[in-house]
Amino acid sequence: MGIGSHEPSPVTAGAHRLSSGAGTLPRMSTPLTWTPATNDYELALDGTTLRCRFRKSGKVVPSVPRGVGDTKVGEKLAALRERLLRHEEECRSTVESWLMGGIPVPAALLGRVWADPAWRCLLENLVVDVDGHTGLLTEVSETGQTTLTGLDGAARTPPRGPVAIPHPVLLPDAAQWREALANRGTEQGVAQLARDTYRRPAYPASGSGVPDPAIDADPDPGATGIDDYAGTEFRELRHATARAARHGFVMRGGYAALRVTGDGTPVEARYWLGADDPGLPAWTGRLLWVDDAQRPLPLGEVGPVAWSEGVRMAELISAGGTNDGQ
């Protein structure tokens, strides 16, 4: 059973599969605060990277010398770094939930967090919609006034209102926004435009029994899952579950799971990895979607965001199997 059309981002179109988009944030230009750690060296945090330089010359050394990181200053900066990393991850998780949730974010909330570099690096340059105006988010005032940059490069300040962050599968002009972003020489902290998207084939709605011959020759109106990603082998089950965790997916009863509400109704995509001994070989199984009542959804009832994200999850996990490409 086909998974529908695949629309890779040109940013990664040369690769067979994408990463999850998680990782180090783009850094904002802020002066470093150097603190003497020893008689010879000073330390500073550059974002979440510990830097070291000579006190006399000011020359930055490639790595922190042995013993300098173990000083009181080094330990304090290391503890601060850990707090910053946790904060970044919390911010990323929240922005990702807004992208998946399809629920507009109060502009006043964005105004309160915009000055924080961790938040701003994730929010800046996302394609957003405010009061019917779509553009790249480039500024938010303390009062929640947004500034958007359009496809023509012009900056606009729409009336204050909730800020919607559309999923890329819902952006018909995503390619144009990618080009606009490239022309600005900037990037997004959260994979929105660089996200692989997948469009669902025209499965008939539940109970209709009427296929669309123009798109799918023989879709099954009763199908509740797809087996395109079943049968991928992992030498050990723990390798599959670790890969799922690395990409931000949770494990639930042997399934890698992802909750999506971007289509208006909460749906959970599930991809079977296994529930046996973590040290034993494992083979992946079916990809399916369930509602809040744990009812497997007929494929015709799976919305575009839930479909795209579920298939993306299966792609990312199955890419780590031992029989990838066979």
Tell me the pLDDT tens digit for each residue of 288-326.
999 999 999 999 899 999 999 999 999 999 999 986 444
282: pLDDT confidence band, cut at 50, 70 and 90?
A: very high
Last residue of a domain, one of 82, 99, 116: 99
Q: CA 124 to CA 117: how far, in whole Å?
A: 10
pLDDT at 252 over 50: yes
101: pLDDT confidence band, cut at 50, 70 and 90?
A: confident
Q: Is residue 324 part of a domain?
A: no
Neighbours of 116 (CB within 10 A): 13
Q: Is residue 326 part of a domain?
A: no
Q: Is residue 325 part of a domain?
A: no
Last residue of a domain, one of 50, 71, 99: 99
Q: Poorest-confidence range of 179-183, 285-289, 313-317?
A: 179-183
pLDDT at 2 over 90: no
Query: Which pLDDT value is given to residue 204?
Result: 60
- Whether residues 203 and 309 share a domain: the answer is yes
Q: Which amino acid is at 4?
A: G
Helix intervals (H) in the chain:
72-101, 107-113, 117-123, 174-184, 237-246, 304-318
User: Which DSSP string corresponds to 131-173?
Assistant: TTEEEEEEEE-TT--EEEE-TTS-EE-PPS--EE---GGG-TT
Neighbours of 11 (CB within 10 A): 18
Mean pLDDT of 236-248: 95
Q: CA 324 to CA 194: how far, in whole Å?
A: 23
pLDDT at 208 over 90: no
- Whether residues 29 and 137 share a domain: the answer is no
Residue 200 makes CB contacts below 8 A (sequence gap 6+) with 4, 299, 302, 304, 307, 308
Mean pLDDT of 134-160: 94
- Whether residues 201 and 309 share a domain: the answer is yes
Domain containing residue 273: CATH number? 3.30.310
Q: Is residue 157 part of a domain?
A: yes
Mean pLDDT of 192-212: 71
For residues 222 and 288, is the Cβ–Cβ distance under 8 A?
A: no
Owning domain of residue 170: 102-184
Query: Which pLDDT value is given to residue 138?
Result: 95
Q: CA 225 to CA 249: how far, in whole Å?
A: 19
Q: Is residue 48 part of a domain?
A: yes
Q: CA 285 to CA 288: how far, in whole Å?
A: 10
pLDDT at 10 over 80: no
Residue count (the chain): 326
111: pLDDT confidence band, cut at 50, 70 and 90?
A: very high
- Whether residues 64 and 41 share a domain: the answer is yes
- Whether residues 175 and 66 share a domain: the answer is no
Q: Is residue 150 part of a domain?
A: yes
Query: Which pLDDT value is given to residue 155?
Result: 94
Q: Is residue 46 part of a domain?
A: yes
Number of domains in the chain: 3
Question: Hunting for tokens 């938010």 — which residue is that?
Answer: 140
The per-residue pLDDT for range 14-60, each reduced to its tens digit, is 332 223 334 445 555 578 999 999 999 999 999 889 999 999 999 99
Q: Poorest-confidence range of 119-123, 217-221, 242-246, 253-257?
A: 217-221
